Amino acid sequence: MDWLTNINWHDGFSNGRFFWIEWHFWKVIGWLGNAVFFSRFFVQWYATEKKKRVVVPTSFWWLSLAGGLLLLSYALFYQRDSVFIFAYAFTWIPYIRNLVIHYRHEDAHLDCSGCGTPCPPNSNFCSACGAPLATSPSVAK
């Protein structure tokens, strides 16, 4: 326990430091990016537990995009480290693509005229009430 008594506690909480981290604008952006990016795992975990099957909700992709862009800006404008920049330079591409696919699929759903339940594209009958569905909308291919 000698290491505990040898820690300079005052230095860790003075001169703009909190837990020995020197805080400024870009440090806050970096930590915020880490927090947002990390939070997406809790969102996915919660959605999976709620549905009792593996689910990747839309908010997962939004959090991935926001966290990745915050971390990329931190890497570009503060760290200026090529490895760190390259790690986040292209991650936004699959995040945006997955959001586009999600919203296209969501827009293609048919609403049942009998019960109002949204049904998957190309369905012939409502999964909730069994009523026949109208013709499917045109979906961009």
Which of the four pLDDT bands, split at 50, 70 and 90, describes residue 85? very high
What is the C-alpha to C-alpha distance for residues 138 and 141, in angstroms, rounded to an integer? 9
The DSSP annotation for 32-43 comes to HHHHHHHHHHHH
Q: Delimit the domains of the chain by residue range.
A: 2-107, 112-141
What is the C-alpha to C-alpha distance for residues 54 and 46, in angstroms, rounded to an integer? 10
* Residue 137: predicted pLDDT: 52
The per-residue pLDDT for range 18-36, each reduced to its tens digit, is 666 777 899 899 999 999 9
Token pair 């971390």 in the structure block, residue: 71
Residues linked to residue 22 through DSSP beta bridges, in sequence order: 17
The DSSP annotation for 78-95 comes to II--HHHHHHHHSTHHHH
Above 70 in pLDDT, residue 46?
yes
Nearest to 124 by CA among 132, 116, 115, 114: 132
pTM for the complete prediction?
Answer: 0.68
Which of the four pLDDT bands, split at 50, 70 and 90, describes residue 89? very high
The per-residue pLDDT for range 59-75, each reduced to its tens digit, is 999 999 999 999 999 99
Please check whether residue 117 is in contact with residue 124, taking contact to mean a CB–CB distance below 8 angstroms. Answer: no
The per-residue pLDDT for range 107-125, each reduced to its tens digit, is 777 788 778 787 877 778 8
The mean per-residue pLDDT over the stretch 95-111 comes to 84
Above 70 in pLDDT, residue 132?
yes
Residues linked to residue 111 through DSSP beta bridges, in sequence order: 118
Distances (CA, A) of 14 to 4, 10, 11, 29, 46: 18, 6, 6, 21, 38
